[in-house]
Structure 1
Amino acid sequence: MLSQTNRAVKIDLTNCDIEPIHIPGKIQSHGFLIVIDAESIIRFHSENLVQFIPNVNDNLLGSHIDNLQPIIGSNEPPDFINHIITLGRANGFEQTNPFNTDINGKPFHLIVSTSASYYLLEFEPAQSDSKTDVQRMIGRSISEMLADKNLQNLLKNCAVQVKNVIGYDRVMVYRFAEDGHGEVIAESKDTELPSWLGLHYPASDIPKQARELYKVNLTRLIADVNQEPAGIITDAGNTAPLDMTNSDLRAVSPVHIQYLKNMGVASSFSISLMYKKELWGLIACHSYTPRFIDFRSRDSAKLIGQILSSALEFRQDEENQQLQERYKSAVDQLSRLMLKDNDIDNALTRNSVTLLNAVDATGAILVFDNSITKLGDTPTDVQVSGLLNWIKENINETFYYTDELPVKYSNAALFRGIASGMMVSTLSKEMGEYVIWFKPEQLQTVKWAGNPDKPVTISSDGLANISPRNSFEEWSQTVTGTSKKWSNEEVKSVVRLRSEITYAINQKAGAIRLLNEKLKNAYEELDTFSYTISHDLKNPLSTIKSFAQILLRDKDLKPQTLKILERINGGADKMNNMINEVLDYSRINRLELVLKEVDPATMISEIVRDLTLVYGIDENNITIGNMPKLQGDPVMISQVFANIISNAVKYSMKTEQPLVSINGTEDEHEVVYTVTDNGLGIDIKQLPRIFELFKRMDNVGDIEGTGVGLAIVKRIIEKHNGKIWVDSELGQGSTFSIAFSKRN
């Protein structure tokens, strides 16, 4: 037999974020563990079996689980464990857990979960140390928790109700920041305990891999920090560590145990709070005496966390929607003003709605058409001049933002009170034209639970003094040179505003920005050159492919040679596709528009029908709404819809339930079509570059594509004097909007 106790590298605060906490090789000893394979053969079990089953056979490994039936579940039907597993596999183990059974006549909970091809059978006592009937209290507690619509009061109510339900000494709502550090934002505690409200804890206290596990295990109990964990035994031939990600009994990192001991905490219990499938925070509960909470009570407490998560998501989405509507209204009004006023500078800066209304900024600068217009609180002219030089030299993206400008640009320390935060939207880098917004310094005094830059002391055993802190006395830190963060809604607003400004500039190009004839000729020559080169590349490429195919017919070639030839053949196909895409891209400007009334209903129905065949999805996954007619070139418009809809289908295929929605609206000025999916989404930082040639997002993986399709779509839409923009968040899907002007 072999102990599975984790023998990983010694963990200290320099590498605790790589500690393999999902394979500890031990369990908490208030219960015991048996692991079986698909044939119900015992492959692992915890060392403490004998403490719960005194007469158990010492040599269980390799035996069938049914051999334990007289001891485990003496009143259950034969083969009951396999029946539970079958039901769990069909309906989800959350529906079968816990199963009430007995060990030698004593009530136990059986909790089943999976680990690769194994099934974890965890047995815990069915009685809790808590004298409170958690399940009876839960309904009333949830009602009281949700009674107040104010978010801070909601969080406070939650802490109070969880404390009432589980009876721990201190209950905190702990929120994670973007950098992983956390803050106590609500608490309920025994009166004699000091308050920890407002205290911050560094990210190393709950490292990244622990935060990932909290997304899987929505509740986590440490019943007694002084209890020795029980090792896991397997046979000598099985050296692979047992993945205990889904385990309730999984032992706790020694670093975290020491951390709790240093705080004087004897037992802890946590409930995960989620926002859009990401970890928002925890309901963290501390008891200064050991406490065991049975599975049913933990599951009831988890319900509080899930309801609070839903409430948080609803409140946050409601707040985001209000912001989005406010910014959208401002951008819409600015768009109308730009199209109405021949002077774009005047439209953006000299009306009741200005650039400042597009975001929550206190100052803005428009650098446009050889002039600089300032709004609100901005740096001095000399400081702006230096800042613009830095932007020209260092910012190559069309979109940039920071909430710590003095860190990025040291001279900004001189005006940090006005501009510690900056957002830049580049209109034309070549002409040095920008829209810049500023946020002032937001001085913060951060209260840490001990110095976050804590020293590490390690005793002779390498463990006893490893902890985030031995002292938890409040330690204050004043943060300077930072502003309030730019929100996702502000980012989306600025991306859309840039699109509207570009559109307005293009609309007025004939009057205010006539292109130099020489530049126009050079552009046409470059376009012709691109077309010719791409066309001429097809002949040698066809030769390469032909020779590769001839060689592939030679049956005497070695397998490795065949594999190389297949890769050459595949590479030739891929290059041929890219050349065709470039030819299409180059051809658009050469084609004359054939404007007709287009009825997209038939066109889109055919595209959807083809896509359902190609990708094997149900037509019910694609919803087609209102389909107003529009003016355009039928061939080009078909290419636009085919590209956008196929992208929506492709990038939502990996979701559990792909959903694509296509809908059109119209008013007296324009027809707008939207294509929405629930797929991969786009990182907000990459939104400004989505329509650039050969730009593919980092998260597309092996999904086919060349990065040319959206560039073609944008060219077609611009040729129709239309607009296209996208609203997306990573993991939340995308909405592409296409606006076609109505022609008189």
Structure 2
Amino acid sequence: MTENINLNNCEIEPIHIPGQIQSHGFLIAIDSSCIIKFHSENISEYLDNLPDNLLGRLINDIEPLIGANEPPDFINQLISFGRSNKSFDQTNPFSTDLQGTPFYLVINESGPLYLLEFEPVESNLKTDLQRMIGRSVSEMLADKDLHNLLKNSASQVKNIIEYDRVMIYRFAEDGHGEVVAESKNPELEPWLGLHYPASDIPKQARELYKLNLTRLIANVHTTPSKIVTTKQLSEDPLDLTHSQLRAVSPIHIQYLKNMGVESSFSISLLYKNELWGLIACHNYTPRFIDYKARDSAKLIGQILSSALEFRQDEANKYLQDKYNTNVNALSKNMLKNNSIEEALTLRSINIMHITDATGAVLIYENNITKVGNTPNEEQIQQLLGWVKENVDEPFYYTNELPYHYAEADAYKRVASGIMILTLSAELSEYIIWFKPEHLELVTWAGNPEKPVEINADGSVKISPRASFEAWVQEVSGKSKPWTDEEIKSVARLRAEVSYAITQKAGAIRMLNERLKQAYEELDTFSFTISHDLKNPLSTIKGYAQMLSRSSNLELRTQNVLTKIDSKVDRMNSMINEVLEYSRIGRVDLDPVEIDVATIIDDHIRDLKLVYSADHLKVNIKNTPPVMGDPTMISQVFANLLSNAVKYSLPSGAPEITIDAKDDESEVVYMIKDNGVGIDIKQLPRVFELFKRMDNVQDIEGTGVGLAIVKRIIEKHNGKVWVDSRLGEGSTFYVAFKK
């Protein structure tokens, strides 16, 4: 089997269920009834006088051996306390005495089971880690420059934990990593600036680093201890996702041995709950750090993560303000100027200035208008042919166009990066931005394309790198990546351009005839729904309710009938919302001044009742009146406020803010929540009919509400857009004309 070993094994290796633990401690897994379902083989090395067979016994049977000085049933009490607090943070670690030796007991969940992990209290660290952290934090954060911040952090962590080498390791978007800061013993070769392929720390390992913020490998030369159970107790292996003692992948152990590393310790660095990088610590002799010391070290990672987030948010805010200012300028120009084309391309602020692109092109009304450095017209025409064949989304971007479209290699110095905004696929109208090639010399720690070595005897040895000597690769055909702020800026421009085109289109564009036909079809569709669908649904609901009244039905049948009744109600709701969506286009407006404050107060009061959300925090600031149809405007706020409440409830501390800006031309309302947020790639499609985001499929909804909002606001000659980030909440903006 050895001849099949390669680094693809790393990507599929089930590292969360290794079936064994590191041998510097032992493990017991119990169920909610305190019955032992699993334990590590090495338990007898730590405890004398154990019963012959622990599996299937109550943990109470051996409590005197693992806590002689503890009260009876203390483990069950610890678990009950952790369950009531929904976390074991307050009890971990629990100091106990194993037959005269001090040990820590660490409790974590594993599905329906509880992991009881025991490890020694003593550590190789001679310093008081908690005391040193306080002194080190101020030195870590002393410099506002990101490079110096990382350099200081590596130095302070090395002083604290006394490992031979401490690195700050940052992950790129494709999963490969780079050493961006380092502190090391003088005799060691520097690794600063070296890159490591994504296969070194594969995807499933990176996911575990997000869940476990520290990871210790005490000694690569020890033999791990197997976890035992029986088929009667469990047919599935024990999930060690949250385990402290989880054994290390044999591939990774070999990798460390190849580097001469005998112990490693890592601290996760997170940005917006995603893995930014690691504080990676290597020692060239075995080294054990106890749980409390590791937990204190975790604080370093959290402080550095917060500092990174703050500095990155500062930079993002600067870009966001710059791009928003330029989008606003383009929006005003489009509404003032008779020509959309001139407004977007011929002013001092043009489409190129809402991103960091060096060139852009507008393809509109059969004209191609270029700004900045772009491919020539023939190349653009060929590129458009590729776009029509391969790009079916309204929004597309890549920073490596030649890898997707080989002909682009001829002009990669101008356009290795491309972002495409589709204005109309049918009319072949686009805005395209270009970024030039960013030539980069990447220094790898050995050739990343050489995954294995052949030994003299012909056997295969896993060796991601043989010598770890620097191997330089020139990366071409790629631009600097498109940032989140650039993507959001283009998404915002899309809404502004669509609005401007709608305002100026009139009878000269094909859209009017198609809209007229669509409205006629929608009327017919609405009539069909109301007469041909609602009546059968009522009949189905009636039969289901009639059958459910029978007293001799099995429970399963009753449940099925209840589900039928529920699904009928949901379908009725969807039909009513589609009818409402179609009705909006046929209603004539008679605008009046609307007291928005009263509408908001009424909806918030109702929503708190509907969602049992007394703990909801609502910040209501400026609420100026607007002009419009009272019923429709009430629907707009009902949908937006309902979404804000519904999608912020999972945060545990839901909070929404309502505010408005009032100037001479428009009133812009803002509704902000701290909910689940929207993936930035899905922002351009958020107002489409029946479009629901991937991360809210388990939350009740039909995907019609925001489409209704957009249609009502457009009927009022207004605008609606959204700014959001996954996991951080959303902010919806609604602009009303005065």
2:107 match: 112
Q: Could you say what secondary structure the match of 1:251 adopts?
A: coil
Residues 30 and 37, structure 2, Cα contact 8 Å, conserved in 1 = yes
1:424 match: 420
In the alignment, is residue 199 of structure 1 matched against residue 206 of structure 2?
Answer: no
Q: Pick one of 6, 18, 24 that aligns with 1:24.
A: 18
Residues 491 and 684, structure 2, Cα contact 8 Å, conserved in 1 = yes
Equivalence map 1:166-315=2 (5 Å)? 166-235=161-230, 237-239=232-234, 240-315=236-311
**Whole-Å Cα distance in 2 between the matches of residues 651 and 484 of structure 1?**
34
Change (3 A) 1:568 1:539: farther
Residues 111 and 121, structure 1, Cα contact 8 Å, conserved in 2 = yes
TM-score, with structure 1 as normaliser: 0.92
1:629 match: 625
In the alignment, is residue 15 of structure 1 matched against residue 9 of structure 2?
Answer: yes
Greater Cα offset, 209-218 or 647-656: 647-656
Change (3 A) 1:533 1:19: same
1:712 match: 708
1:74 match: 68
In the alignment, is residue 447 of structure 1 matched against residue 449 of structure 2?
Answer: no
How far residue 679 of structure 1 moved from its aligned partner, in angstroms, is 2.1
How far residue 479 of structure 1 moved from its aligned partner, in angstroms, is 1.4
Equivalence map 1:278-677=2 (5 Å)? 278-456=274-452, 465-509=461-505, 514-515=508-509, 520=512, 523-549=515-541, 551-552=543-544, 553-554=546-547, 572-618=568-614, 620-677=616-673
Change (3 A) 1:18 1:463: farther
How far residue 565 of structure 1 moved from its aligned partner, in angstroms, is 7.2
Greater Cα offset, 490-499 or 465-474: 465-474
* 1:87-139 CA distance string (max 9 Å, x none): 43344322222222222322222222222333322222211112222222111
Residues 437 and 478, structure 2, Cα contact 8 Å, conserved in 1 = yes
Change (3 A) 1:60 1:590: closer
Change (3 A) 1:488 1:78: same
Change (3 A) 1:584 1:459: farther
Residues 446 and 465, structure 2, Cα contact 8 Å, conserved in 1 = yes
Q: Which amino acid aligns with 1:88?
A: G
**Whole-Å Cα distance in 2 between the matches of residues 373 and 541 of structure 1?**
50
Change (3 A) 1:464 1:230: farther
Q: Which amino acid aligns with 1:436?
A: I
How far residue 492 of structure 1 moved from its aligned partner, in angstroms, is 0.7
How far residue 674 of structure 1 moved from its aligned partner, in angstroms, is 1.1
Q: Which amino acid aligns with 1:489?
A: E
Q: Could you say what secondary structure the match of 2:244 adopts?
A: coil
* 1:216-247 CA distance string (max 9 Å, x none): 11111111000011122335522332222221
* 1:127-186 CA distance string (max 9 Å, x none): 111222222211112111111111111111111111111111111111112222211111
**Whole-Å Cα distance in 1 between the matches of residues 65 and 531 of structure 2?**
78
Change (3 A) 1:70 1:681: closer
Residues 584 and 711, structure 2, Cα contact 8 Å, conserved in 1 = yes
How far residue 47 of structure 1 moved from its aligned partner, in angstroms, is 1.9
How far residue 297 of structure 1 moved from its aligned partner, in angstroms, is 1.2
* 1:185-220 CA distance string (max 9 Å, x none): 111111111111122212221112211111111111
2:47 match: 53
Q: Could you say what secondary structure the match of 2:443 adopts?
A: strand
In the alignment, is residue 153 of structure 1 matched against residue 148 of structure 2?
Answer: yes
Change (3 A) 1:464 1:122: farther
How far residue 16 of structure 1 moved from its aligned partner, in angstroms, is 2.6
Residues 421 and 430, structure 2, Cα contact 8 Å, conserved in 1 = yes
**Whole-Å Cα distance in 1 between the matches of residues 649 and 289 of structure 2?**
41
How many residue pairs match? The answer is 729
**Whole-Å Cα distance in 2 between the matches of residues 93 and 459 of structure 1?**
48
* 1:406-436 CA distance string (max 9 Å, x none): 1222221111100111112222333332221
Change (3 A) 1:624 1:42: same
How far residue 546 of structure 1 moved from its aligned partner, in angstroms, is 4.5
**Whole-Å Cα distance in 2 between the matches of residues 400 and 113 of structure 1?**
43
Change (3 A) 1:192 1:356: same
Q: Which amino acid aligns with 1:736?
A: F
Residues 262 and 285, structure 2, Cα contact 8 Å, conserved in 1 = yes
* 1:41-78 CA distance string (max 9 Å, x none): 43333222232234444433444444445443334444
**Whole-Å Cα distance in 1 between the matches of residues 631 and 543 of structure 2?**
40
How far residue 447 of structure 1 moved from its aligned partner, in angstroms, is 1.7
Change (3 A) 1:107 1:705: closer
Residues 453 and 466, structure 2, Cα contact 8 Å, conserved in 1 = no
How far residue 647 of structure 1 moved from its aligned partner, in angstroms, is 1.8
Change (3 A) 1:82 1:537: closer
Greater Cα offset, 441-450 or 35-44: 35-44
How far residue 736 of structure 1 moved from its aligned partner, in angstroms, is 0.8
**Whole-Å Cα distance in 2 between the matches of residues 577 and 118 of structure 1?**
41
Residues 609 and 619, structure 1, Cα contact 8 Å, conserved in 2 = no
How far residue 620 of structure 1 moved from its aligned partner, in angstroms, is 3.2
Change (3 A) 1:666 1:61: same
In the alignment, is residue 42 of structure 1 matched against residue 36 of structure 2?
Answer: yes
Change (3 A) 1:253 1:591: same
**Whole-Å Cα distance in 2 between the matches of residues 82 and 475 of structure 1?**
55
Change (3 A) 1:397 1:82: closer
Q: Which amino acid aligns with 2:97?
A: D
Change (3 A) 1:384 1:52: same
1:140 match: 135
Greater Cα offset, 183-192 or 42-51: 42-51
**Whole-Å Cα distance in 2 between the matches of residues 702 and 411 of structure 1?**
44
Residues 541 and 568, structure 2, Cα contact 8 Å, conserved in 1 = no
Identity %: 61
**Whole-Å Cα distance in 1 between the matches of residues 569 and 15 of structure 2?**
46
Change (3 A) 1:469 1:666: same
Change (3 A) 1:267 1:373: same
Q: Could you say what secondary structure the match of 1:95 adopts?
A: coil
Residues 47 and 230, structure 1, Cα contact 8 Å, conserved in 2 = yes
TM-score, with structure 2 as normaliser: 0.93
Residues 113 and 119, structure 1, Cα contact 8 Å, conserved in 2 = yes
**Whole-Å Cα distance in 2 between the matches of residues 237 and 461 of structure 1?**
44
Change (3 A) 1:323 1:65: same
Q: Which amino acid aligns with 2:495?
A: S
Residues 110 and 123, structure 1, Cα contact 8 Å, conserved in 2 = yes
**Whole-Å Cα distance in 2 between the matches of residues 532 and 59 of structure 1?**
74
2:718 match: 722
Q: Which amino acid aligns with 2:259?
A: M
